Amino acid sequence: MASPSYKDSFVNGIWKENPVFVQVLGMCPALAITNSVENAIAMSCAVMFVLVTSNALVSILRKWVPKEVRIAVFILIIATFVTVTDYAVKAISVPIYKAMGPFIALIVVNCIILSRAEAFSSKNNVLKSILDGLGMGIGFSIALLCMGGVREILGSGSFLGHPLFGANYEPWVIFVLPSGGFFTLGAWLFIFAWWRERGARNKKPEGHQA
Amino acid sequence: MSATAAHTVPHAHKPTSSLYMIVLLGAVSTVCGLIIVVADMVTAETIRNNLAQITREAVGEVLPGSTELVKYVADLEAGTITPLAEVTGGATNLFACFGTDESGQRRFLGCVSKAAGKGYAGTIEALYAYSPDAQTITGFKVLESKETPGLGDKIILDNDFNANFTNLDVALNGDMTALANPIVTVKHGKKTDPWQIDAISGATVSSKAVGALLDASAERMIPLIHQHLEELRKGGA
Amino acid sequence: MSGGTDDTLSFLILNTLLVNNFVLAQFLGICPFIGVSNKIETASRMGVAVIFVMLVSSALAYGINIVLVAADAEYLRLIAYIAVIASTVQLVEMFIKKTSPALFKALGIYLPLITTNCAVLGVAKLQTSEGYSFIQCIVFALGSGLGFTLALVIMAGIRQKLDLADVPGLAKGTAIILMIAGVLSMAFMGFAGLGS
């Protein structure tokens, strides 16, 4: 199997293999912690930290870890960094910690992280693994910001807590409720599918693109 | 990096010895354990301060001017009040609050209690301030709730609703064992007596839940506060 | 009596099953909700397996939490819970393989995937933070599992009908499932206030 270039390791996760919109992984936090932009940013940072650190450690250990116990080792490493994140968030801001509820601890079982450990960093060198973690983390953050932005602007009429539309705006409350999360993500997936299909259609007649 | 791939493929075919796996798992666990312990030690102090800070701010909001809090654990079933330091594993649910007057003297301001009850969608946790001199509730703040955003969560944000708790009558009955009038939530605009809570229109269930949790707590907590008033006034000093 | 420790059992069941449904209101276990909801039969089997894993791991997590608190080692909680869940899933796998090879085949890949079902870890985590007693933990786990199964089976029923419907090509797959989930979630909001 050919190893991706340094640039691809970083860029793939942001758009082409975006973890939420393309791979449809890590849906739980993408739905639950996106009722405001602030929460979305906090969650993105937490996931990115865990992705980068666990990718790095898995990559460092990759030559010593035999196939039989690799999943156990991966989970152990991920759980460690999630615990660290848990303490860090609590130390930085208790209100944010409360807003994220159980979802910080649940980063452990976020499919994105385990799948990157298994599919990428157990096969590639440390630098590439860190780049991959960063790329995937940024891709995840973009998705969360897309969700959080739409939900906060429509659902509370504000962005990052700053009111946008003046006092007469009646917020579209449904968007900060759970069902709004489902609707927003569904709509984004729809838009992405349309985008990709349009891209594919435009490419076909020319036929000379790689 | 085909060299790495070539390295791992033959490796996967031959079984690894159990001893190696055990040693490896042990080593990884040790490293992970160390990382966690270090993270815990580094952050523990900050987390404790943060939590204390939040409690202080919340209490300061329901009872403005309080600069010093003495923590107690009130057992409503057994009817006892014990300082937090003397109970193991207890959670503070009563604060005696002190501030300073113009001459810089330490002055007893009142008590702040924690109460919890079921709301529209899960438990509501709240703080309320009680003034033993006036026998009224003087402040109220929801700490945690899962009420519906935009409807039920008005119990946190609605100013008119919060105005109910600036002077809510909770006078005790003659023998100081219960409230003279139970706290009740009435429909929006139907408030006639000082012990009633005027509900938010459109969030009646959540408003009623607030009334019920306040009544349930105050009914026992306030007689208890009066039994131990001398001790609370001294505040362990 | 602070916190949720005085929640009655009937309130717990109603709350986790309907009002705060794990999938539709708390967004726990979305991956299997989307992945395993194409047929009622698989969905209900998956649900049963999840209920079982939840019950066992909830009981074990309760015990482990007591030990960890006594040893003053709460920082190991997450790792311990994950280990418990992973081994419970293995146990269930072995048990099902022995007693019902047919069911084992039907569940296939989804059985080991329960380990990474965040609803299971969610139960362990939430019961600890709410400070439930042992009985409350079991009832909470049961209600959560039932709620998960309910959402899964309803979705599977709708998706079976959906096969006959004319869905726009672009919305096929996850997008339309999420839209339906949104409507379901809205419907479940109607249960709010029940049991209070």
Report d(CA B43, CA B52) in Å as an integer.
Answer: 14
Side chain identity, residue B1: M
Q: Other CB atoms closer than 10 Å to residue C132's CB: what's the count?
A: 22
Q: What's the pLDDT score for residue A2?
A: 62
Rounded mean pLDDT, B8-23 = 69
Half-sphere exposure (Cβ direction) of A163: Cα atoms closer than 13 Å: 7
Determine, yes or no, domain membership for B60.
no
What DSSP string describes B42-57? HHHHHHHHHHHHHHHH
Q: What's the pLDDT score for residue B154?
A: 77
CB contact under 8 A, B50 and A91: yes
Determine, yes or no, domain membership for B31.
yes
pLDDT tens per residue, range C152-163: 999 999 999 988
Mutant choice from C24, C27, C54, C130 vs A, greatest count of A C-beta within 10 A: C27
CB contact under 8 A, B121 and C19: yes
Chain B residues inside the 8 Å CB shell of A64: 24
Report the percent of chain A where pLDDT is more than 70: 96
Q: What's the pLDDT score for residue B82?
A: 83
Q: Does A177 touch chain C (CB under 8 A)?
A: yes
Q: What's the pLDDT score for residue A205?
A: 59
Determine, yes or no, domain membership for B58.
no
Q: What is the number of domains present in chain B?
A: 2
The H helix count followed by the E strand count for chain A is 8, 2
CB contact under 8 A, C19 and B205: no
Domain of residue B173 covers 66-234
Determine, yes or no, domain membership for B170.
yes
Report d(CA A148, CA A171) in Å as an integer.
Answer: 15
**Residue A155, Cα to own-chain centre: how many angstroms?**
22
Determine, yes or no, domain membership for B59.
no
What distance in Å separates residue A90's CA from the closest CA in chain C? 13
Surface of C (8-67) touching A: CB under 8 A: 24-31, 34
Give the three-state DSSP class for C90. Answer: helix
Same domain for B87 and B169: yes
Report d(CA B188, CA B121) in Å as an integer.
Answer: 21
Cβ proximity of B215 and B183 under 8 Å: yes
pLDDT tens per residue, range C4-19: 445 688 888 888 888 8
How much is the ipTM here? 0.87
Determine, yes or no, domain membership for B53.
no
Same domain for B107 and B30: no
Strands (E), chain B: 68-75, 80-83, 94-100, 106-119, 122-131, 136-144, 168-169, 184-186, 196-198
Of residues B133 and B157, more confidence is placed in B133
Residue C91 pLDDT greater than 90, yes or no: no
Residue C35 pLDDT greater than 50, yes or no: yes
Provide the 8-state DSSP code for B236.
Answer: T
Report d(CA C185, CA B200) in Å as an integer.
Answer: 25
Residue A1 pLDDT greater than 90, yes or no: no
Chains in touch with B (3+ beta-carbon pairs under 8 Å) read: A, C
Report d(CA C7, CA B122) in Å as an integer.
Answer: 10
Residue B235 pLDDT greater than 50, yes or no: yes
Determine, yes or no, domain membership for B57.
no
Q: What's the pLDDT score for residue B237?
A: 54
Report d(CA B186, CA A145) in Å as an integer.
Answer: 42
Residue B9 pLDDT greater than 50, yes or no: no
Cβ proximity of B117 and B212 under 8 Å: yes
Mutant choice from A36, A61, A69, A94 vs B, greatest count of B C-beta within 10 A: A69
Residue C196 pLDDT greater than 90, yes or no: no
Q: Does A187 touch chain B (CB under 8 A)?
A: no
Determine, yes or no, domain membership for B174.
yes
Average pLDDT along chain B = 82
Of residues B235 and C45, more confidence is placed in C45
Residue C86 pLDDT greater than 80, yes or no: yes
CB-nearest to C116 from A76, A114, A181 is: A114
pTM: 0.84
Residue C178 pLDDT greater than 90, yes or no: yes
Cβ proximity of A110 and A147 under 8 Å: no
What distance in Å separates residue B57's CA from the closest CA in chain A? 13
Chain C residues inside the 8 Å CB shell of B31: none
